[in-house]
Amino acid sequence: MAIVTGGVDLGGTKIQTVVVANRKVVGQARHPTPQTTSGDVIATIVAAVREALAAAGAAVGDLRAIGIGTPGTVDEATGHVSNASNVPGFLDDVPLGPTVGKALAGTPVVVDNDVRVAVLGEHRRGAGRPYKNLLGVFVGTGVGGGLVLEGKLRQGRGSAGEIGHTLVKPGGRKCPCGQRGHLEAYAGRLAIEETARRKQAGGPRPGCSRSWRPRAGTG
């Protein structure tokens, strides 16, 4: 097998891994994100990378490098992650890159914020190619954003473009990060599901009929 590159998308509910050769996906694997500890999450990432390699007919020794997109604040220099409120154990500092690299025979690992790298991909090879300036917003378990200005992805202090943690209602709903009133507390999937469950538990609103029918002539 030729030299391959690994990619990991770490989310609050799933871990998706791919192996790429000559710009084509040649193997992939997907696992639920463990809802336990950061150690279990990292072990699942490693297992998923190995599974994707096996699907591609490759071995760990064929890996050139691995790129990981993760929620939270990323220290690119060290590969450490923190403030990822939707991934168990990732609110505190987690040495994600070094630990994954060590478990895979010292393979180089590059870590960055998941939405930032997704926006970078769209800017270079997707719908964002015609534009020098753009903000990409992704709604998943949480809400993330990435910012490209003058053709360059902006990093800031590790969280540039993170629109999900913009204050939209002072003293509002509690966000998974622990603060109140952030956009993610209203527009993230977890928040939307909680709102739906609460409304369902309350039943139909007064004056609403379960058996509504149109009036004659409204067709």
* DSSP β-bridge partners for residue 27: 19
Q: Do domains 4-115 and 132-202 have the same CATH topology?
A: yes
Residue of higher predicted confidence among 85 and 41: 41
pLDDT at 204: 63
Rounded average pLDDT over 104-121: 93
**Sorting pLDDT into bands at 50, 70 and 90, what band is 219?**
very low
pLDDT above 70 (res 207): no
Starting at the earlier edge strand, list the strands of the sheet with 152-153: 134-139, 143-149, 152-153
Does the domain formed by 4-115 have CATH 3.30.420.40?
yes
Contact 70, 87 (CB under 8 A): yes
Where are the domains positioned within the chain? 4-115, 132-202
Distance CA 148, CA 37 (A): 33
**Sorting pLDDT into bands at 50, 70 and 90, what band is 215?**
low
Distance CA 188, CA 181 (A): 12
pLDDT at 154: 86
Least confident span in 71-75, 141-145, 149-153, 201-205? 201-205
Average model confidence (pLDDT) across the chain: 88
pLDDT at 160: 67
Tell me how far CA of residue 110 lies from CA of 31, 39, 41, 97, 214, in angstroms.
21, 19, 17, 7, 58
pLDDT in tens, 55-83: 999 999 999 999 999 988 889 899 999 98
pLDDT above 80 (res 85): yes
**Sorting pLDDT into bands at 50, 70 and 90, what band is 1?**
low
CATH class of 132-202: alpha beta
Least confident span in 34-38, 119-123, 127-131, 154-158? 154-158
**Sorting pLDDT into bands at 50, 70 and 90, what band is 158?**
low
pLDDT at 177: 81
- Which two tokens mark 118? 């997704």
CA 81 from centre of chain: 13
Percentage, residues of the chain above pLDDT 90: 58
Rounded average pLDDT over 194-218: 65
pLDDT at 200: 86
